[in-house]
């Protein structure tokens, strides 16, 4: 993995310190069975030029294009053949893609699942053919047919988002509010979305308990102090779609904020969802203006280009940066170790997928605001030219 430099590197050290205690939590009830006959050491190596499959969930989201192409380029540079596919948000298509990879003698398949449960039959066929399966960023559920998992400290994403809102509203300094907040979670078919929400809700729920935070709309049946992590799908956004988030937010504004009521904050787990919220506010409440007290504090995730622009313009307050270059590096290292018959190193956690405890490599996310937005350039995530275009 490439090391982060400058300010971002120091921030990652701080995040690591905060996340160390989460390393065990990330396993969340890791009490299931272990895979029989599987170990982290490999008994045989692959020939140079072997085929590696990479299955991404969609091309419609910026990050999956980066993830897939980053990893493909690294593997091809190392002399491997690569089959890269995008499933167009269709679980059946992803299953077909994976089966095609196995039929083309892929020795290792990397899967960022569209639906972590639906992809099970395809990876089981891969396992039966002797193919190693690596779950990429999204855990593959309810099957023994997953050898490794690589992702970020998932709950820490929510922790960073919640802390941004808590700090922005002055809650730690004793601000009493009550502050109006609306909450969104990610796609109901993405296992990661629950962890993101848990990290945030564990910090926000006590403020609902005390009445400092309130969600006055009936979104998802209403978010109150009695809302639980297991209720997260009630406020989810299918496929993380901007359009669905905009529709949901417009409904919230029409029902609850149409008479000039103040909206103080929005918990959004993803930049695309945040964009939908922004679109809705600009459409329904043009009196709310960025850079003034009338504009709500908003979170996000993935440091998308649109988020870089939005943060620079005061439309979005924060995003969580998960450096997909580092994730590609981590999975590349994993693949090379498997291919060379070596023990996989850097495993620092386990995730229970309801069937087995999957050995996992967990990286650290970083909170990005206007104050450290340029750290994305220092990290090599965006070029200086692109950054200047987005922020001018």
CA atoms within 13 A on the CB side of 348: 15
C-alpha 352/C-alpha 359 separation (Å) is 9
What band does 279 get if pLDDT is binned at 50, 70 and 90? very high
Domain 51-146+323-363 and domain 154-322+371-376+383-391 have a common topology: yes
C-alpha 281/C-alpha 69 separation (Å) is 34
Return the CA Rg of the chain.
Answer: 21
pLDDT tens track for 192-239: 999 999 999 999 999 999 999 999 999 999 999 999 999 999 999 999
DSSP assignment, residue 141? P
Place of tokens 């280009």: 305
Class assignment of domain 154-322+371-376+383-391?
alpha beta
Residue 274 has pLDDT above 70, yes or no: yes
Q: What is the pTM of this model?
A: 0.82
What CATH number does the domain located at 51-146+323-363 have?
A: 3.40.50.2300
pLDDT tens track for 135-194: 999 999 999 999 999 999 999 999 999 999 999 999 999 999 999 999 999 999 998 999
Token pair in block for residue 248: 């949901």
Q: Which of 7, 357, 349, 8 is nearest to 152 (CA)?
A: 349
What band does 299 get if pLDDT is binned at 50, 70 and 90? very high
Residue 89 has pLDDT above 80, yes or no: yes
Structural domain boundaries of the chain?
A: 51-146+323-363, 154-322+371-376+383-391
Average pLDDT of the residues of the chain:
90
Predicted local distance difference test score (pLDDT) of residue 5: 41
CA-angle at 362, arms to 117 and 97, nearest 5°: 35
Please, is 320 exposed, middle or buried when counting C-beta atoms within 10 Å of its C-beta (0-12, 13-18, 19+)?
buried
Predicted local distance difference test score (pLDDT) of residue 21: 41
What band does 39 get if pLDDT is binned at 50, 70 and 90? very low
Residue 2 has pLDDT above 60, yes or no: no
Largest CA distance in the chain: 68
- The residue-averaged pLDDT of 262-291 equals 97
Count of CB atoms situated within 10 Å of the CB of 348: 14
- 346: cis peptide before it, omega within 30°? no
Residue 333 has pLDDT above 80, yes or no: yes
Predicted local distance difference test score (pLDDT) of residue 150: 97
């Amino acid at each position: 993995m490439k090391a982060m430099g400058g300010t971002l590197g120091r921030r990652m050290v701080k995040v690591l310190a905060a996340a160390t205690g989460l390393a065990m939590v990330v396993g969340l009830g890791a009490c299931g069975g272990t895979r029989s006959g599987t170990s982290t050491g490999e008994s045989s190596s692959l020939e140079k030029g072997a085929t590696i499959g990479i299955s991404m969930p969609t091309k419609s989201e910026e990050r999956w294009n980066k993830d897939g192409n980053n990893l493909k380029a690294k593997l091809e540079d190392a002399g491997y053949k690569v089959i890269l596919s995008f499933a167009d948000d269709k679980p059946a298509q992803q299953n077909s893609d994976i089966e095609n990879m196995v039929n083309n003698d892929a020795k290792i398949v990397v899967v960022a699942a569209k639906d972590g449960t639906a992809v099970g039959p395809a990876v089981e066929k891969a396992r039966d053919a002797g193919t190693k399966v690596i779950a990429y960023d999204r855990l593959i559920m309810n099957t023994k047919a997953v050898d490794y998992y690589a992702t970020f400290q998932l709950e820490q994403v929510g922790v960073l988002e919640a802390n941004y809102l808590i700090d922005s509203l002055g809650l730690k300094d004793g601000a009493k509010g009550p502050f109006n907040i609306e909450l969104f979670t990610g796609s109901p078919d993405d296992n990661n979305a629950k962890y993101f929400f848990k990290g945030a809700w564990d910090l926000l729920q006590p403020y609902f308990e005390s009445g400092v935070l309130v969600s006055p709309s009936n979104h998802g049946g209403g978010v109150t102090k009695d809302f639980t992590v297991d209720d997260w799908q009630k406020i989810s956004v299918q496929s993380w779609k901007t359009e669905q988030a905009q529709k949901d937010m417009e409904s919230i504004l029409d029902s609850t904020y149409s008479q000039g009521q103040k909206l103080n904050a929005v918990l959004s787990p993803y930049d695309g969802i945040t964009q939908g919220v922004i679109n809705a506010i600009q459409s329904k409440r043009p009196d709310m203006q960025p850079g003034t007290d009338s504009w709500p504090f908003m979170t996000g995730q993935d440091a998308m280009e649109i988020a870089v622009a939005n943060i620079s313009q005061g439309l979005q307050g924060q995003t969580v940066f998960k450096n997909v270059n580092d994730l590609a590096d981590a999975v590349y290292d994993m693949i090379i170790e498997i291919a060379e018959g070596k023990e996989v190193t850097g495993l620092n956690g386990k995730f229970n997928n309801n069937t087995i405890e999957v050995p996992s490599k967990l990286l650290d996310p970083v909170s990005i605001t206007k104050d450290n937005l340029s750290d994305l350039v220092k990290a090599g995530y965006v070029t200086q030219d692109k950054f200047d275009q987005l922020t001018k």
